[in-house]
Structure 1
Amino acid sequence: MNAQFDIRSDSTQISFEASDNAQLSRLLDEIARNEALPAPAPENVFVGDGDYRAIGLEYLGHFVHIGGLKPTHRVLDIGCGIGRMAVPLTQFLDPKTGTYEGVDPVNEGIEWCVQNIASAHPNFRFCRLDVAHELYNPGGTMAGDQVALPFAGNSFDFIAMVSVATHLPAKEITAYAREVMRLLAPGGRLFLTAFLVDAEDLSRPTARPRFIKGEEDGTWIADPAAPLGAIGFDNGVVQDILKRSGLDIQRVSFGHWRGIGSTHYQDIIIAVKPE
């Protein structure tokens, strides 16, 4: 029998069993209807197109269904942006045993999260990582391929990297993979999204973005004027980076960017730190 967890919103308390799809569906519906949850002004959202609350809620479902996230997990959100994933997680993670840490290079996003999320949820914390990125933080003091996250080893059960590898060169993904391996507890999971490009993907007229060859072998870009705006890799490249860091690939789920039916847009990789 699976343990029961109480998930509290501002207006109600929901008993949730981690493996029960019906219970999860009810929780997602309750979060969607909770107008008290914070959301930034649309003009301040820098983490991509689409509905802020709807995308965060969608990914909470993916975290649970595809990634195996549990309410008691210690979560690290690399590239937390302006709290799009964090807001629905406040209603999912157990306030006594579940924890959340969010890091991002964009100071405005971190400040918003501290003021609007951490102030009401003591188990949620945010910090700025001053890592250089030509689009998001060009003046950063830390080189992307030398990234070091300010946490002790084996501190997390679940690490999310949503729309992070889609904006990084391979050498920087390698640096993050090294840190993920250090920070995950044995048995802990990485949930990473990427564009994993196969030759047949490029021939589908409904594929978006429309990738062209990048300058580096095995890379694909959507806009030559901003190569890191959306970067893809030959299918297998990102998985090999993760495996070289010591992680085991548990699952790869292809997204509908490539013009196929899927419940999610980007491709998802679940990698596990060996016990």
Structure 2
Amino acid sequence: MNAQVGNRINAYEALLSPAEESRLAWMMEAIERNRFLPAPAPESVFVGDGDYKAIGAEYLGHFVRIGGLKPSDRVLDIGCGIGRMAVPLTQYLDGTTGCYEGVDPVNEGIAWCVRNVTPVYPRFRFCQIDLAHELYNPGGALAGHEVVLPFSDASFDFIVMVSVATHLPAHEIAAYAREAMRLLSPGGRLFMTAFLILDGDPVRDGARPKFTAGTEAGTWYGDPSAPLAAIGFDQNLIEQALRLAGLRIQRVDLGHWRGTDSTHYQDIIIATKPGKAA
């Protein structure tokens, strides 16, 4: 594997100058304190645990420090939920050159974002994709492996898939990888989180979730009675899906779900579309 792999992030300085790091840290703190930013009622947050603004601000830091997100980037958030990643990005993306599109199968989350985010930040748009998912959209009209998102080729510089691959079977992850390849501009980046299974991970005492082998080779379930609630994959299976789509894996950073020290919970994979950015 050619990707940079590590248990903790130790290369922030390679992407950010001290002044940029200081500004980013200030912005993340300001987002958590800002009571005027849109935030749904806690009972409306149907995916993800923890503080809505704090986790969004945390991921803004990961997007910039690990993924190399720029204020001018055109961002696609696949599985945007109820706007947890979108809200902090309203404070970071440039209001003239940057833009954001969020898609999700759950209409309630999209409707909240359309009512509460887009009117204030018109360059942030959201739409429901009626994909079938047994947990989040069981009556969906489109099978996950048939996903085709309603955007033109090379429309985005940065694609986000946070806690999406952790709820999909492998063949659907491959379909999303192909869509990411189509939708990214040359040099564009995919920021994906996953549970990557390395030797010994499923039985590590501190692992949360603690995975057991699934019915398909290379697949692991946090709860065999609800397989899509938390899925892990052998690392080479995910990397192969990305490479077969034409993406190049640039970096893998391991998360603390496995009981080891890290700045983030799930594992993070950065993959790029070959070519030079315009």
Q: TM-score range by the shorter chain?
A: over 0.9
Question: Any conservation in 2 of the 1:157–1:184 contact (CA below 8 Å)?
Answer: yes
Please provide the CA RMSD for this pair.
1.1
Q: Are residues 1:142 and 2:122 paired?
A: no
Q: Are residues 1:30 and 2:42 paired?
A: no
Question: Any conservation in 2 of the 1:197–1:234 contact (CA below 8 Å)?
Answer: yes
Counterparts of 2:203 and 2:161, CA distance in 1: 28
What's the counterpart of residue 65 of structure 1? 65
Counterparts of 1:29 and 1:40, CA distance in 2: 19
Counterparts of 1:117 and 1:133, CA distance in 2: 25
Aligned to 1:30, the other structure's residue is in SS state helix
Counterparts of 2:248 and 2:66, CA distance in 1: 16
What's the counterpart of residue 88 of structure 1? 88
What's the counterpart of residue 163 of structure 1? 163
What's the counterpart of residue 232 of structure 1? 232
Q: Which runs of 4+ in 1 moved over 6 A?
A: none
Question: Any conservation in 2 of the 1:145–1:175 contact (CA below 8 Å)?
Answer: yes
Which digits, 9 at most, give the CA deviation of each residue in 1:10-51, with x for residues without a partner?
A: xxxxxxx96411111111112121110111111110112111
Question: Any conservation in 2 of the 1:18–1:24 contact (CA below 8 Å)?
Answer: no
Please report how far the alpha carbon of residue 180 of structure 1 lies from its aligned counterpart in structure 2 after TM superposition.
0.3
Counterparts of 1:27 and 1:174, CA distance in 2: 35
What's the counterpart of residue 184 of structure 1? 184
Counterparts of 1:231 and 1:27, CA distance in 2: 33
Letter in 1 for 2:223: D
Q: Summarize the alignment of residues 1-12 of structure 1 with structure 2, pairs less than 5 Å apart.
A: none
What's the counterpart of residue 111 of structure 1? 111
Question: Any conservation in 1 of the 2:16–2:65 contact (CA below 8 Å)?
Answer: no
Counterparts of 1:178 and 1:55, CA distance in 2: 28
Letter in 2 for 1:94: D
Which digits, 9 at most, give the CA deviation of each residue in 1:88-115, with x for residues without a partner?
A: 0000001111000000000000000000
- State the identity as a percent: 68
Counterparts of 1:120 and 1:102, CA distance in 2: 15
Aligned to 1:59, the other structure's residue is in SS state helix
Tell me the matched-pair count.
259
Unaligned segments of structure 2, at least 5 residues: 1-14
What is the TM-score normalised by the length of structure 2? 0.92
Please report how far the alpha carbon of residue 189 of structure 1 lies from its aligned counterpart in structure 2 after TM superposition.
0.1
Please report how far the alpha carbon of residue 199 of structure 1 lies from its aligned counterpart in structure 2 after TM superposition.
2.3
Q: Which moved more, 1:40-49 or 1:187-196?
A: 40-49
Which digits, 9 at most, give the CA deviation of each residue in 1:118-157, with x for residues without a partner?
A: 1100110000000000100010011100000000000000
What's the counterpart of residue 42 of structure 1? 42
Aligned to 2:188, the other structure's residue is in SS state strand
Please report how far the alpha carbon of residue 203 of structure 1 lies from its aligned counterpart in structure 2 after TM superposition.
3.2
What's the counterpart of residue 12 of structure 2? none
Counterparts of 1:104 and 1:203, CA distance in 2: 33
What's the counterpart of residue 245 of structure 2? 245
What's the counterpart of residue 14 of structure 1? none
What's the counterpart of residue 256 of structure 2? 256
Name the structure, 1 or 2, with higher relative contact order (CA <8 Å, separation 6+): 2
Which digits, 9 at most, give the CA deviation of each residue in 1:164-202, with x for residues without a partner?
A: 000000100011011000000000000000000112212
